Structure 1
């Protein structure tokens, strides 16, 4: 157990180190002070070695003495060289700290390695909660004098938001909090459904399950297309000191498919930001990765094979009170023909087929037997989607809604194709969630 704090010896990173030292003292854990120097810098056409571990260590020792202030705080020095954000993340992976604390506007000497996006890159890749310090005074006052800290937590139904809520329990143990939560409706499957009062009630219940009884103010707004702006507007209106957001930590093409809310907040906020990765937080009393998973939300993708009601009943049987099964059927997307002379006719035929498929799916969802639809304490919802990439659509929806499990039936062939074939294999190969396959009953 430790607090990890990278520094470039600038005033901004020094302020972040003050916060990290206060946290380490409050938690009675060591502070790991890390500095990463570039291996070299270009000087004209000559590559000049820059890293001097002896000099770096002396600077770290001087900073450590300042942070101790004559006290007995245990500080471990970590001089490194390489690409800064990669070395910081590697250190967090090698020995997982309780928290990573980093400044976001520091400027060191020649390498200036904390400028700009380094703090954001670390927060998006580190396997532990990362506190990006931009306004240290409020955090230091909270930790040193016992004043309350006003925070705003982003809440939806995703796993990453659940991780952020779980981290609130750890913050409560450090000092007084004035907790506010914001739910921004954007039209996604991960949003809380219903009128504002219903959404507020659902969020209060989730907060109570996570952090216990505590006064919480919940803000519910609808702003399709720009959840980050709405969230930051609330933060400005409420004059909060800390923003708490979860992160899926998507990279590469995954980020292009689903714009990152946490990255938007990290980029545009002027507040302190605590970014919590979805996999970083385990239930109280356990270590990350060792707790038994709890199934509360199941995505059931169906092609309406003969045994699909059995798959629904199986999914419902797995849920506790308050759980949810979301049914989805993916219709094939209409395609234009390759020959432009017949493209319109082919496209028209495919559109009709898709319309018929959609109507048939909606009818089957409505006609589910009461043994599936009237389960006390369990919510059953459904939707029909249109996309050619069935497996990818299912996996993306599972991530957006925060599903704990994907359920598929494995028998039968529909007009859209055999679910037992490429779709199941595609989901198995792409999903980052457990997948349950429900076979047909024995003859």
Structure 2
């Protein structure tokens, strides 16, 4: 499923945590890793006519930092099995360079930290990661800072939230494929938006929820994957967040938009909130025209 995995890096601890996940997935899928560091042109002005010594020194410092960032990821990949990789340093606006690289190199998965050198206080909103998740046709795995101290990556349980939408189904396909490859169990969760508890079994909303989770479970069982289904009532984001924490979930796979419509993309959605706060990595899958 994944032959080419991109690991962007800015040298931060969170980026290196993402690199370990990239190494883990590359090993599982026999993939090649592409390491990319971007020298942000917005932090120096020598692309303009006015070039001075200060800007040249700033550019040189940023290029050195990019080289160090790439070397750090290369060392992570070299610590275990022989994973093939390619390294590149480019100049530009980080999210634009990443998106272009994904498109031009047929990248099938991007693995990146949800926070970079900008600091944890910014969360995900407005960050490079959020923009890449919003706009990339290829899936993006956002690895949270909670995984910084995790040297060995493990994945025993995968959560697949679904609302039955086409975007959710795209994430289902990838979640089941990863579970199959890694021999992980799957939890399928459907949250009925309700402040009055779970509807009765005869309620149409409950019937639809049960149908959707059963459909996902059937796909998992066809691959002999251990699967459990869950139908809950409440706030989708709140229930997903609690499920991740209470069940010790190792990975979440979600579509970037659901029944509320494609136009909203990620902003303000359940997926965006989950990406901001999840203790587990989140694989965000954007519905493409071909799906």
Q: TM-score, normalised by structure 1?
A: 0.52
Unaligned runs of at least 5 residues, structure 1: 143-147, 188-192, 281-288, 294-443
CA positional deviation for 1:173 = 3.6
Please give the root-mean-square deviation of Cα atoms over the aligned residues, in Å: 3.6
Preserved contact between residue 40 and residue 51 of structure 1 (Cα < 8 Å): no
CA positional deviation for 1:14 = 1.0
Any residues of structure 2 matched to 1:48-87 within 5 Å, and which? 48-49=55-56, 50-52=58-60, 55=64, 56-57=66-67, 59-61=69-71, 63-69=73-79, 71-87=81-97
Provide the C-alpha distance between the structure 1 equivalents of 2:165 and 2:125, rounded to a whole number of angstroms.
Answer: 31
> Which residue in 1 is equivalent to 2:156?
149
CA distance 1:41–1:211, shift in 2 (3 Å) = same
- Structure 1 or 2, whichever has the larger Rg, is 1
Matched, 1:262 2:271: yes
CA distance 1:58–1:269, shift in 2 (3 Å) = closer
Any residues of structure 2 matched to 1:266-305 within 5 Å, and which? 266-279=275-288, 289=290
Matched, 1:220 2:227: no
CA distance 1:39–1:161, shift in 2 (3 Å) = same
Matched residue pairs, number? Answer: 265
SS in 1 for 2:43: strand
Preserved contact between residue 9 and residue 69 of structure 2 (Cα < 8 Å): no
CA distance 1:211–1:118, shift in 2 (3 Å) = farther
Preserved contact between residue 102 and residue 132 of structure 1 (Cα < 8 Å): yes
Matched, 1:169 2:198: no
SS in 2 for 1:35: strand
In structure 1, which of residues 149, 160, 176 is the aligned counterpart of residue 167 of structure 2? 160
CA positional deviation for 1:184 = 1.0
CA distance 1:232–1:115, shift in 2 (3 Å) = closer
Q: TM-score, normalised by structure 2?
A: 0.77
CA positional deviation for 1:265 = 1.4
Cα deviation digits, residues 79-135 of structure 1 (max 9, x gap): 1122212211221122222311001123279xx9x9972222222221111111124
Provide the C-alpha distance between the structure 2 equivalents of 1:256 and 1:34, rounded to a whole number of angstroms.
Answer: 26
Preserved contact between residue 5 and residue 109 of structure 2 (Cα < 8 Å): yes
SS in 2 for 1:157: coil
Provide the C-alpha distance between the structure 2 equivalents of 1:107 and 1:115, rounded to a whole number of angstroms.
Answer: 14
Higher RCO (CA-CA < 8 Å; seq separation 6+): 2
SS in 2 for 1:97: coil
SS in 1 for 2:191: strand
With 176-185 and 63-72 compared, the bigger mean Cα shift is at 63-72
> Which residue in 1 is equivalent to 2:200?
none
CA positional deviation for 1:234 = 2.1
Preserved contact between residue 158 and residue 175 of structure 2 (Cα < 8 Å): no
CA positional deviation for 1:48 = 2.2
Q: Judging by fraction of residues, say which structure has more helix.
A: 2
Cα deviation digits, residues 223-281 of structure 1 (max 9, x gap): 2xx3211221222222212221111499xx9329994221121123232111111128x
CA distance 1:78–1:173, shift in 2 (3 Å) = farther
Preserved contact between residue 33 and residue 75 of structure 1 (Cα < 8 Å): yes
CA distance 1:182–1:71, shift in 2 (3 Å) = closer
Preserved contact between residue 166 and residue 210 of structure 1 (Cα < 8 Å): no
CA distance 1:208–1:82, shift in 2 (3 Å) = same
> Which residue in 1 is equivalent to 2:31?
29
Unaligned runs of at least 5 residues, structure 2: 195-202
Provide the C-alpha distance between the structure 1 equivalents of 2:141 and 2:158, rounded to a whole number of angstroms.
Answer: 13
In structure 2, which of residues 124, 129, 134 is the aligned counterpart of residue 119 of structure 1? 129
CA distance 1:54–1:10, shift in 2 (3 Å) = closer
